């Protein structure tokens, strides 16, 4: 195996391990999260994003050789419609592409089925891409925009307050949940 393949495997194992321990192997966490019955999904995601946000900005600012950033282009129609379709699928299945694999590896039938559905969805997308590309991906493609570029501010000057805001939201969600649990007695999860 090549070095990048080994690195991908190691990264994946650590990622899958953490997702499994966070409770994503079954569909309940995502379903309950989207229905606001349980904030665990949001708290895990926002915490991970905040840590990654600080890390990416620190790497880019002080260790640019180690900042392999990859900004995705803002092709408005594709991102918007794709996101809307994605949200419906996420609620129906209770999985996203990563957590479906956590279900598969964790021995959960529905995770395996979601992965199979995903492989079929991938095949369908490959086949219809020539039709979709000129209509939804090419037009209104604004390029690889970032918030700090648009604002014209240094990367860290935007990343740190934004990460602080996310941490604030996490603390707020945690407080609401703890309060609700105290009044409703011991809830699940």
Partner 1 sequence: MMRVDQAMATTEARPATRRAIPPWLVWGGAIGLVQIFAIATVQPLGVSTAYPQFVGFVVDKLVPGFGETQPYLQKIGATIGWQVMLVVGIAIGALLSRLLMGWSNGNATACPLPSFWSGSKTQALAAFVGGFLIIFGARLADGCTSGHMLSGIAQLALSGFLFGAAAFTTGTLTAFLLMKRSSRVQGGER
Q: Show contacts with partner 1 in window 19-78 (CB under 8 A).
A: 19-29, 31-32, 34-38, 40, 43-53, 55-56, 59, 63, 66-76, 78
Residues across the chain: 189
Shortest approach of partner 1 to residue 173 CB, angstroms?
10
The backbone region for 32, taken as left when phi is positive above 0, alpha when psi lies in -120 to 50, beta otherwise, is: alpha
- In the complex with partner 1, the residue whose CB is nearer, 76 or 182, is 76
How far is C-alpha 39 from the chain's CA centre? Answer: 15
Q: Among 62, 129, 179, 182, indicate the residue that binds partner 1 (CB under 8 A).
A: 129
Interaction between residue 182 and partner 1 (CB under 8 A): no
Residue 172 interacts with partner 1 (CB under 8 A): yes or no:
no
Q: Is 131 in the site for partner 1 (CB under 8 A)?
A: no
Using rule CB under 8 A, residue 18 touches partner 1: yes
Q: In whole angstroms, how close is the CB of 19 to partner 1 at the nearest point?
A: 7
167 touching partner 1, by CB under 8 A = no
> What are the structure tokens assigned to 168, written together?
């604030």
Q: Residue 176, interface with partner 1 (CB under 8 A)?
A: no
C-alpha to C-alpha distance for 116 and 98, rounded to whole angstroms: 13
> Based on the number of CB atoms within 10 Å of its own CB, is 115 exposed (0-12), middle (13-18) or buried (19 or more)?
middle
Q: Is 160 a binder of partner 1 (CB under 8 A)?
A: no
- Residues 6 or more apart whose Cβ sits within 8 Å of residue 67: 56, 59, 60
């Amino acid at each position: 195996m090549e070095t990048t393949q080994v690195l991908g495997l190691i990264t994946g194992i650590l990622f899958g391990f953490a997702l499994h321990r966070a409770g994503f192997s079954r569909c309940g966490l995502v379903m309950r999260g989207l229905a606001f019955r349980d904030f665990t999904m949001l708290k895990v995601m926002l915490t991970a994003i905040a840590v990654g946000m600080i890390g990416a900005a620190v790497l880019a600012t002080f260790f640019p050789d180690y900042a392999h950033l990859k900004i995705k282009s803002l092709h408005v129609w594709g991102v918007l419609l794709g996101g809307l379709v994605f949200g419906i699928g996420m609620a129906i299945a209770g999985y996203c592409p990563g957590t479906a694999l956590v279900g598969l590896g964790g021995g959960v039938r529905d995770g395996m089925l979601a992965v199979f559905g995903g492989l079929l969805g991938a095949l369908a997308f490959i086949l219809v891409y020539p039709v979709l590309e000129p209509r939804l991906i090419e037009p209104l493609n604004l390029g690889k925009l970032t918030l700090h570029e648009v604002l014209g501010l240094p990367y860290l000057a935007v990343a740190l307050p934004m990460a602080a805001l996310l941490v604030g939201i996490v603390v707020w969600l945690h407080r609401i949940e703890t309060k609700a649990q105290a009044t409703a007695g011991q809830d699940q999860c």
